[in-house]
Amino acid sequence: MPALNPVLERLRGGLIVSAQAYPGEPMRDPRTMDQVAQACVAGGAVGIRAQGLADLALITQHLDVPVIGLWKDGHDGVFITPTLTHAVAVAATGVQLVALDGTRRPRPDGRTLAETIAELKAARPGVLVMADCGGLDDARAAQDAGADVLGTTLAGYTGERPPTDGPDLELIDQVAAIAEVPLVAEGRVHTPAQAARAMDHGAFAVVVGTAITHPTTITSWFVDAVARR
Ligand SMILES: CC(=O)N[C@H](C=O)[C@@H](O)[C@H](O)[C@H](O)COP(=O)(O)O
């Protein structure tokens, strides 16, 4: 892999924590997410992934690790930073990387992924792009479209890959074999052992969300285990 952008170099081999609360949830408050993000950095996270302009505006002020920002609009189809307008607004919060839907599905504003990336970079020079992919063909296309980072974020959510129990290691292998840019393993990494396995399979860094920052889900795992006895 050629010499990397210094922002990406800071993420190499590390854990990125995704701190997101969903609409209507008790922790859906920018101050709360900012505090959660700070707590994760204190624990050794090399980067933070976060959602929404208000959360990002606070988090970028208080953290000195790279922040991957996104804006979820809706919950099906293309909803992760779906348009150029969303992407430019996310970049304007001061994040170093913008995560956007990196699938081959039509985007709501009619732009291709390549056009979106080129226009975002023209509007916000220096910003990096993480493409959230659902499968190998997405990853290949996103790399060709100019993505700086490939993520397995949408594996199991777009119909291209079955939802695996744990990270989609087969997809990580496949993407690692074609990636000329960093591959970030994201999606259903629920244990430290799974995070380590994703690295062993060729990930450049790993994103963990739910298992660190979503107490409702984590609690339900324990509740179910207790209820089974
Ligand atoms: C599919 C989708 O919408 N993924 C979102 C992307 O930002 C988040 O809801 C996930 O929490 C994140 O990808 C981390 O994954 P996990 O929470 O499984 O560690």
User: What structural domains and CATH numbers belong to the chain?
Assistant: 6-227 (3.20.20.70)
Residue 1, pLDDT above cutoff 70: no
Q: Which amino acid is at 160?
A: E
Tokens 């220096």: give the residue: 126
Residue 3, pLDDT above cutoff 90: no
Predicted confidence (pLDDT) per residue in 66-86, tens digit? 999 999 999 999 999 999 999
Predicted confidence (pLDDT) per residue in 169-219, tens digit? 999 999 999 999 999 999 999 999 999 999 999 999 999 999 999 999 999
**C-beta of 189 in contact with ligand 1 (< 6 A):** yes
**C-beta of 153 in contact with ligand 1 (< 6 A):** yes
Q: Which amino acid is at 27?
A: M
CA gap 106, 36 in Å, rounded:
34
Spacing, Cα 34 to ligand 1 middle (Å) = 17
Spacing, Cα 163 to ligand 1 middle (Å) = 13
**C-beta of 103 in contact with ligand 1 (< 6 A):** no
Ligand 1, atom 5, lies closest to the CA of 153
Nearest C-alpha neighbor of 210 from the set 29, 11, 36, 14 = 36
Q: Please give the torsion angle defined by the CA atoms of residues 222, 194, 76 and 131, in that order, rounded to the nearest 10 degrees.
A: 150
* 3-class DSSP string for 75-113: CCCCCECCCHHHHHHHHCCCCCEEEEECCCCCCCCCCCH
Report yes or no for ipTM above 0.90. yes
Angle at 93 between CA 211 and CA 7, to 5 degrees: 70
Nearest C-alpha neighbor of 150 from the set 177, 124, 123, 188 = 177
Neighbouring C-beta atoms of residue 132, cutoff 10 Å: 28
Spacing, Cα 181 to ligand 1 middle (Å) = 21
**Whole-Å CA distances, 98 to 24, 48, 81, 104, 150:** 24, 12, 8, 18, 12
Ligand 1, atom 6, lies closest to the CA of 153
Mean pLDDT over the full length of the chain: 97
Mutate to test the pocket of ligand 1, among 210, 213, 214 (most ligand atoms within 8 A of CB): 210
Residue 2, pLDDT above cutoff 70: no
CA gap 120, 47 in Å, rounded:
21
